[in-house]
Chain A
Amino acid sequence: MAVPQAKVDALAARIAGLSFEREGWLGAARVEALSRLSSMGLPGKRDEYWRYTDPTDLIQPRTATAALFDAGDEPPVFDAIDRITLVFVDGVFDAAASDDPALAGVEITRLSQAPDLHWARDLYGVLEARGQSPVQRPLAALATAFATDGLLIRVTGKAAKPVSLVYRHDSETSDAILHHCVRLDPGAELTLLESGPGAARFTTAMEVEVADGARFHHVRVQGRDHQRRAATHVFARLGAESLFKSFTLTANGVLTRNEVVLELAGDDGVAHVAGAAMGDGAFHHDDTVFITHDAERCESRQVFKKVLKHGAVGVFQGKILVKQGAQKTDGYQISQSLLLDEDCQFLAKPELEIYADDVKCSHGSTSGAIDETALFYLRSRGVPLRSAQALLVLAFLAEAIGEIEDELIVEDIRQRLENWLARHEY
């Protein structure tokens, strides 16, 4: 199908100022990505998967400005975690602020150094390209084609400590595009942490290959900046008996679109994706998840919770596709919103598509207010109204937070949620 002229023009305008590198294997991958992107055009409001989220601010040639944000005396995210920290400021790698990336069991290289790594050649743009069907994700192709930097992380054993990517936002008009690749060799294990807003506008893609028996933990905190915009994509392919667990906390942000595309390609794989989003006022948060079961006895869970008030909008588009032959699939999906007043909105589109006959798939979606009966019960025991409300909000989020395995990280996330609740009136 021909791309409408308006989309062609929009794409031309969007990429006009971006530098494009054609050299080497990376250049070849970028050329292919640009070709994919040109055949799709940028997302538009009429696209099936953009009906609930207006992509305008994500695609316009220049980003809207985003005022810098001061988190006050709240300690940096993951501060208490022993980790290797790699810092990007407005999408530019900051070597001085970063740790030495030497870590037993892990090899870390920067994309901008265009190293000739076989594993990266086989991964860069590959999972993103696979993830373009049946749902198009043009902004991911944009990230593949135009990323100015990113990290290529190969995990050969059990990583000695988590790798933490910190994305600082230091310019009101920064427009950052990053692309990371992570490859976990058979039996390897890594915890990858991501934190911070990234830029005024942040467009990212991350491709993760989890080989047989490997374990990948991903915890992301998207920063408290109110005005930033973000379009992120995680593509992962899981081998046999592997594990993938991802959790994202989003508190604030005028526009966030987090896409996760997972493929369970080997038998007995486990994939869990979870998110907690806290929105007050001008807040639009969209989780778009697509999980494909293409092997036997795999388990997938999607647990997304949103707490909304003062006109905040939450979107969930989650799909489980069970291919023919993916017998004994165990798929679970829940998306829930807690609406703290009557102005906010939660839009959910759960989808199941199943071609195997021996599977267990369940999905649910709810929107509701704080349970008044539970609130009274707590208060009747002496718990003050605000504390009782906070306790119930945390209880609502518990299932999503429960997807994080590391207790220290759980504690960090819980503390941030409590701080958020203490800062916001409801």
Chain B
Amino acid sequence: MLEIKNLHVKLEEEDKPILKGVNLTVEAGKVHAIMGPNGSGKSTLSYVLAGREGYAVTEGSATLDGEDLLALEPEERAAAGLFLAFQYPVEIPGVGNMTFLRTAVNAQRKARGEEEMSAGDFLKVVREKAKRLKIDAEMLKRPVNVGFSGGEKKRNEILQMAMLEPKMCILDETDSGLDVDAMKLVSEGVNALRDAGRAFLVITHYQRLLDHIAPDVVHIMADGRIVKTGGPELALEVEKNGYADILAETL
């Protein structure tokens, strides 16, 4: 589904390479995890895939079901089925959460040539999905992420994902800032979306999220490259011994 080949990326403003040849293939129905120390390029990879400005791709490619992601605007990538759950969800004062969700859902439907969702249907679906994530009606009415706790923001990301039903979900450190209960809620939300047609790329520092969202494949990223790939046991190894051993071994 997602195919990244030899991806090189630098910051636009300075001549500083961050990704130095990332190769990664995520198949439909699978959960891949990327772990790695701070500064290894994990978040950059997620931003570049989602189309954030400020990065320059100097080499390589990234495709979603064969479509060149890098040639698309961020909204086109979203309509193509890509979703990024932000590490730091953005607060937007003045825009109601509900308005935001409905605008997004209908914009994607429109872009795909589908019929827009009626206000009534939308309300029904959003209420049901919000309930599962323990997001109350009050939170839906408030401006996007404004005054939300860390946990509420992350749950709100998962709600957006559930509403938009993307096929390729990237979760950027969704576990950061979550207590045990919130992590469980978020993980359940993610697991409920797992199916044969959908893939996940879970970026995390810690193995603990992977206790809840069981990965099929684990990658270790360091210095802008995937340096090791393995099964779930790789995450446990990191948890036990840290990154040092793995990094030493790959040098």
Given A372-B53, A387-B107, A391-B103, verify A379-B78 contact (CB < 8 Å): yes
Q: Look across to chain A and name the residue whose beta carbon is closest to the beta carbon of B82.
A: A380
In the complex, the answer to whether B51 meets A377 with C-beta atoms within 8 Å is no
Which listed residue (A377, A379, A399) contacts B92, Cβ 8 A? A377
Residues of A contacting B: mostly: helix
Complex Cα distance, B188 from A111, in Å, reads: 71
Complex Cα distance, B52 from A158, in Å, reads: 54
Looking at B53, B77, B94, B100, the one whose CB has the most chain A CB atoms below 10 A away is B94
Complex Cα distance, B95 from A388, in Å, reads: 11
Complex Cα distance, B94 from A391, in Å, reads: 9
In the complex, the answer to whether A380 meets B107 with C-beta atoms within 8 Å is no
Q: Counting CB contacts under 8 A, is B3 at the interface?
A: no
Q: Mark interface residues in A375-404 (1 if CB within 8 Å of B CB, else 0).
A: 011111111110110011011111100000
Q: Counting CB contacts under 8 A, is A80 at the interface?
A: no
- Chain B residues with Cβ below 8 Å from A3 are none
- Chain A residues with Cβ below 8 Å from B108 are 381-382
- Chain B residues with Cβ below 8 Å from A376 are 50-53, 74, 90
Q: How many whole Å from B165's CB to the nearest CB in chain A?
A: 11
In the complex, the answer to whether B111 meets A385 with C-beta atoms within 8 Å is no
- Chain A residues with Cβ below 8 Å from B77 are 380
Q: Counting CB contacts under 8 A, is B86 at the interface?
A: yes
Q: Counting CB contacts under 8 A, is B93 at the interface?
A: yes
Q: How many whole Å from B153's CB to the nearest CB in chain A?
A: 12
* B 203-245 contacts with A by CB, 8 A: none
Which listed residue (B52, B89, B107) contacts A382, Cβ 8 A? B107
In the complex, the answer to whether B73 meets A383 with C-beta atoms within 8 Å is no
Complex Cα distance, B177 from A208, in Å, reads: 54
In the complex, the answer to whether A380 meets B84 with C-beta atoms within 8 Å is yes
Q: Counting CB contacts under 8 A, is B174 at the interface?
A: no
Q: Counting CB contacts under 8 A, is B104 at the interface?
A: yes
Which listed residue (B90, B91, B92, B103) contacts A387, Cβ 8 A? B103
Q: How many whole Å from B144's CB to the nearest CB in chain A?
A: 8
Given A374-B90, A395-B93, verify A385-B100 contact (CB < 8 Å): no
In the complex, the answer to whether B74 meets A380 with C-beta atoms within 8 Å is yes
Q: Mark interface residues in B62-76 (1 if CB within 8 Å of A CB, else 0).
A: 000000000001110
In the complex, the answer to whether A374 meets B92 with C-beta atoms within 8 Å is yes
In the complex, the answer to whether A398 meets B107 with C-beta atoms within 8 Å is no
Q: Counting CB contacts under 8 A, is A113 at the interface?
A: no
Q: How many whole Å from B102's CB to the nearest CB in chain A?
A: 11
In the complex, the answer to whether B51 meets A379 with C-beta atoms within 8 Å is yes
Given A382-B104, A382-B111, A384-B107, verify A392-B95 contact (CB < 8 Å): yes
- Chain B residues with Cβ below 8 Å from A381 are 78, 100, 104, 107-108, 160, 164
- Chain A residues with Cβ below 8 Å from B75 are 379-380, 382-385, 388
Given A384-B107, A394-B94, A398-B94, verify A378-B100 contact (CB < 8 Å): yes
Complex Cα distance, B111 from A61, in Å, reads: 56
- Chain B residues with Cβ below 8 Å from A372 are 53
In the complex, the answer to whether B94 meets A373 with C-beta atoms within 8 Å is no
Looking at B51, B53, B73, B75, the one whose CB has the most chain A CB atoms below 10 A away is B75
Given A372-B53, A376-B52, verify A382-B94 contact (CB < 8 Å): no
- Chain A residues with Cβ below 8 Å from B164 are 381-382
- Chain B residues with Cβ below 8 Å from A398 are 93-95
Complex Cα distance, B83 from A9, in Å, reads: 69
In the complex, the answer to whether A395 meets B94 with C-beta atoms within 8 Å is yes
Q: Counting CB contacts under 8 A, is B79 at the interface?
A: yes
Complex Cα distance, B245 from A77, in Å, reads: 71
Complex Cα distance, B143 from A394, in Å, reads: 13
- Chain A residues with Cβ below 8 Å from B78 are 379-382
Looking at A378, A380, A395, A397, the one whose CB has the most chain B CB atoms below 10 A away is A380
In the complex, the answer to whether A383 meets B107 with C-beta atoms within 8 Å is yes
Q: How many whole Å from B204's CB to the nearest CB in chain A?
A: 20
- Chain A residues with Cβ below 8 Å from B53 are 372, 376
Q: How many whole Å from A260's CB to the nearest CB in chain B?
A: 24
- Chain B residues with Cβ below 8 Å from A387 are 103, 107
Complex Cα distance, B111 from A385, in Å, reads: 13
Complex Cα distance, B93 from A398, in Å, reads: 9
Complex Cα distance, B74 from A383, in Å, reads: 9
Complex Cα distance, B108 from A47, in Å, reads: 54
- Chain A residues with Cβ below 8 Å from B95 are 391-392, 394-395, 398
- Chain B residues with Cβ below 8 Å from A373 are 90
In the complex, the answer to whether A392 meets B92 with C-beta atoms within 8 Å is yes
- Chain B residues with Cβ below 8 Å from A382 are 75, 78-79, 104-105, 107-108, 111, 164
- Chain A residues with Cβ below 8 Å from B83 are 380
Q: How many whole Å from B80's CB to the nearest CB in chain A?
A: 9
User: Which 4 residue pairs spanning A and B have beta carbons closest together?
Assistant: A395-B94, A382-B78, A398-B94, A382-B108
Chain B residues engaging chain A, CB cutoff 8 angstroms:
50-53, 73-75, 77-79, 83-84, 86, 89-95, 99-100, 103-105, 107-108, 111, 143, 160, 164
- Given contacts A376-B74, A382-B111, 18 further A-B pairs with CB under 8 A are A374-B92, A376-B51, A376-B90, A377-B89, A380-B52, A380-B75, A380-B83, A380-B86, A382-B75, A382-B108, A385-B75, A392-B94, A392-B95, A394-B95, A395-B94, A396-B94, A398-B93, A398-B94
Chain A residues engaging chain B, CB cutoff 8 angstroms:
371-374, 376-385, 387-388, 391-392, 394-399
